Each structure stands twice: as structure tokens, then as C-alpha cells.
Amino acid sequence: MTRLESFIRRMTAQRDILDQVCAEVAKIEGPVIELGLGNGRTFHHLRERLPGRRIVAFDRALAAHSSSIPEPENLVLGEIRETASRFIGIDAALVHADIGTGYEDRDAVTSTWLPDLTARLLRVGGIAVSGTPLDHPQLQRLAPPPSVPADRYFIFRRV
């Protein structure tokens, strides 16, 4: 598979998973946490699918398209490991983490702190969607939509 094909599959999986979980998240109280604003494409999608919901977005630096920039109070810049820790207890309905790099060694470092941070940001019953696996006793893995290839994108419920 070429990198272009792999990218298309990842974006399709991301869209299908976000569409599936947004239907459920609409019934769960609490804000949405977007870890990795990037260009703002998934932020834009979540904002469209969950109108009126507070979405707090995190990144090292602002690089989003002008159409996809959160309100200043909902944009948090810096290292996610530190900045998002300040939001522990926010009882999020959804945490979407799109901070995988495709480099095994870097993603292995992220996996030492991201699962626990995600579990602590979520309310019980809340949903996590992640581009990297989240191995944590309080995060129960859920099945992705049939269109999503195995181990391409991951969904969990906070138990």
C-alpha cells in the first residue's frame, strides 16, 4: 500500500468513527477534548456534528486553518502531557486523541502517559477515540464501524 492509500484509509476510518461516536456522545453530558488540533479538520467535523457542545482543543502551537480555530478560552497551547493534565476532572463526554506520529519509538513514549490522562479526563461512560491504542484498565475497547480496518483507529468507553 502506498502512503497516499494509507493516508486515505486513515482519514476515512477517522471520519467513520467520529460519525459513529458523535451519535452516542450527543446523549452524554460534558465537553469534548480534542488532543491534537493540527489543521483543525477533525475539530471542524466535531463542531458540525455536535452543535453547541464545548470543544477544548490542545496543541503545541496553533497551525489550524482560519475556519477551524476554537474560541481563545477553548484553545490550550503547549505540551499536551502538561496542559491537558490541568483539565483532569472535567468529566468529558469525548476525548479524541490524534497525536500519533507513525514512528514506533515516539508513539511508544506517548503510550506511557496518554492512556491514563485520557481515562482521567473522561466521565464514566464517556468515549475515547484514538489513533494509537490506549491500554488502561478503565478504558474498555469497543468495536469500530465495519468500514474501519482492524487496528487503524481505536474506540474505548470509560468504565
| C-beta closer to ligand SAM: residue 76 or 93 | 76
Using CB atoms, what's the residue nearest to ligand SAM?
38
Out of 6, 39, 140, 147, which residue is the one contacting ligand SAM (CB under 6 A)? 39
Does 80 bind ligand SAM (CB under 6 A)? Our answer is yes
Within 99-138, the residues that bind ligand SAM by CB under 6 A are: 99
Angle between helices 3-25 and 41-49 (to 10 degrees): 30
71 binds ligand SAM (CB under 6 A): no
* Vertex 92: Cα angle to 86 and 96 (nearest 5): 90
Nearer residue to ligand SAM within complex by CB, 65 or 141: 65
Q: Give whichever of 29 and 79 is closer to ligand SAM, judged by the CB atom.
A: 79
Residue whose cell numbers read 474560541: 71
The one-letter amino acid code at 5 reads E
The rounded distance, in Å, linking the Cα atoms of 96 and 153 is 11
Q: And the C-alpha cell for 113?
A: 502517559
Q: Applying CB under 6 A, does 38 fall inside the site for ligand SAM?
A: yes
Q: How many CB atoms lie within 10 A of CB 150?
A: 6
- Within its chain, how far is the Cα of 115 from the centroid? 12
Interface stretch with ligand SAM, choices 17-25, 78-86, 118-126, 149-157 (CB under 6 A): 78-86
156, β-bridge pairs: 128, 141
Contact of 25 with 32, CB cutoff 8 Å: yes
Q: Does 70 bind ligand SAM (CB under 6 A)?
A: no
* Interface stretch with ligand SAM, choices 2-10, 47-55, 76-84, 137-145 (CB under 6 A): 76-84
Which residue ranges make up the site for ligand SAM (CB under 6 A)?
Answer: 36, 38-42, 59-60, 63, 79-81, 98-99
